[in-house]
Structure 1
Amino acid sequence: MRKPGALRAGRTATPDKVSDVDTTSLSGKELAAAVNADTKERAAALAASGAAPRLALVVANDDPASGWYVKSLERAAGRLGIDSTTTNLSVTASAEEIRAALRALGADTAVDAVMLQTPLPAGVTLDEVSPEIPAAKDVDGVSPLSLGLLATGLPGFPPATAQAVVELAKFHDIPLTGRHVAVVGRSNVVGKPLAQLLLAENATVTVCHSRTTDLPAVTSAADVVVAAVGRAGLITGAHVREGAVVIDVGTNEGPDGSIVGDVDADSVRGRAAALSPVPGGVGPVTTALLMRHVLEAAENARG
């Protein structure tokens, strides 16, 4: 019988033999490459017809990590034939200034997709400004309307990170139907929308959070554990039953400046059947899906 994390023949994941279980690495690079190849081909077709897809980014912070991410999105768009522009607002921009920028881009017929980068200025919340992004252009699914469409199963763009978790599991033949999935984290960006996507896959979902009593008891009862709470090394081997699948969404700065996940990978390997690496797991798939959303928004706009 195949373990839950076993892959199709020909996949390039590498087993890490540590103790009793061969822990398969759920790399996202091959999936991201396939998504990007399709996006690039379809974007070229739109450009040939006279209108390349166009993404508009809005930034109102001076956070170095945010700046790096915006630059990475601009580079990814450029490689795939997607035009991108960035509106840089002040770090002291008011909610109304941000709403005005989003409103203008939402009304601009030359713009196919709008993305608001966080963090936002002090005192400004995503909930009060994101409704200005039309659902048809909300490629990262952050507005209350987009989240509502997701919750009710209607067409719309789900948050790319949450979608990446599901797509990564499918790519590696990890069954979700009928399985118990524990999602650690309840943010509107990952945890809550991921629960909706998993329910759509007929999984049984438990959403855990900071007030969950005896977190290891809850997560160790699950077939799949998704760590999406933003705390380095929170999930250890004690949180995972033998043979479970663990998907790490976390991107935290380690003591040496490296990027580390929410999972203590060393203690989970040899216990879990499969574990997504950080970096190289959910991350590249997230970016690829976000670019595919831009492409799909452009295709939808052109009929």
Structure 2
Amino acid sequence: MTEKIINGFEISQKKRKQIKEKVELLKAEGVIPGLAVILVGNNPASRSYVTGKGKASQEAGIHFELIEFPETIDEQKLLQEIERLNHDENIHGILVQLPLPKHINEESVIESISPEKDVDGFHPISIGRMMTGQDTFLPCTPHGMIELLKEKKIELNGKHVVVIGRSNIVGKPAGQLFLKENATVTYCHSKTKNMKEITKLADILVVAIGRPKFVTSDYVKEGAVVIDVGVNRLETGKLCGDVDFDDVLKVASYITPVPKGVGPMTITMLLENTVLSAEWVRSSLSRTM
């Protein structure tokens, strides 16, 4: 059964070595990739994610700045800090850890980040460029999924992909990236009727709904590839995905586990976007010399 499991941790470690090599080449040319992360409040999950991003950045040789604000921060002050980072030549990527406190408008915050430093790939301009096939920063989690499948040499061209979930962060952009790979894409969501009939048609099933162990083997076609994006904590304290892993493992050809599946690739793609931003800056500098 272990050959069915797509180990995102191992694949991400391989890619981070490649990223580190790119960073060393950039440093040799006088460019140090820099990532700034803004953390508002003290949400334990958010702090854990930020810590992981900081550690991964430093291991890759990327300059990392953590900027912390209390939960009570005024929205205008937060926007002013983002504007400062937009003009900081040492920072190539800006990320605001979500969710934000309710008194802060997340859309306004995301849109205040310069598209040239939007390494999360959430800015409307980044999304528009992705939709039209232009060079841009791709959203990290969906991009990580595609990279996992390519690493395992799983064919995407002409395959039927079903995405359960339609969030702006994962579901919607995931479908667009699969379309770019010439897959046929169907979305399912909370209002979908006869969901099992649809998901059982999928060659590749992506599950991103935030409901622990929601997808069982009766949702999955024999031999399908299953990508589990969910991260849920059970009452026992154990992490699980949106897929009933042990049950679906019996019918899937490949499946991502939780943890050590999609999660590590999300951070890896963030690092890759930061390095890409630095490379674009280097290219623009070369053209002006």
TM-score range, shorter chain: over 0.9
1:260 equivalent in structure 2: 240
| Greater helix content | 2
2:260 to 258, 277, 280: 280
The amino acid of 1:294's aligned partner reads T
Q: Percent identity?
A: 39
1:30 deviates by 3.0
1:302 to 254, 264, 282: 282
Q: How does 1:30-109 map to 2 (within 5 A)?
A: 30-109=10-89
User: Secondary structure at the residue paired with 1:146?
Assistant: helix
TM-score of the two chains, using structure 2 as the length reference: 0.94
1:212 deviates by 0.8
CA distance in 1, matches of 2:143, 2:211: 21
CA distance in 1, matches of 2:250, 2:26: 47
1:86 deviates by 1.1
1:147 deviates by 1.0
1:246 to 204, 226, 240: 226
1:243-300 CA deviation, whole Å, 9 max, x = no partner? 1110111111122212211100121121111111111111111111111111111111
User: Secondary structure at the residue paired with 2:162?
Assistant: strand
2:97 equivalent in structure 1: 117
CA distance in 2, matches of 1:271, 1:42: 39
The count of corresponding residues between Structure 1 and Structure 2 is 283
TM-score of the two chains, using structure 1 as the length reference: 0.90
User: Secondary structure at the residue paired with 1:207?
Assistant: strand
Matched, 1:136 2:116: yes
User: Secondary structure at the residue paired with 1:296?
Assistant: helix
Q: How does 1:159-174 map to 2 (within 5 A)?
A: 159-174=139-154
- Greater Cα offset, 26-35 or 147-156: 26-35
CA distance in 2, matches of 1:200, 1:66: 31
CA distance in 2, matches of 1:213, 1:94: 43
Which runs of 5 or more residues in structure 1 are unaligned? Answer: 1-12, 16-23
1:55-97 CA deviation, whole Å, 9 max, x = no partner? 0111112110100110111111111100111111221223322
Give structure 1 regions of 4+ aligned residues with deviation exceeding 4 angstroms. none
> What RMSD in Å do the two structures reach over aligned CA positions?
1.3
Which runs of 5 or more residues in structure 2 are unaligned? Answer: 284-289
Assess if the C-alpha contact under 8 Å between 1:56 and 1:86 holds in 2.
yes
The amino acid of 2:98's aligned partner reads T
Assess if the C-alpha contact under 8 Å between 1:61 and 1:119 holds in 2.
no
2:2 to 5, 10, 14: 14
Q: Which has the higher contact order (CA 8 A, sep 6+)?
A: 1
CA distance in 2, matches of 1:55, 1:104: 14
The amino acid of 2:232's aligned partner reads N
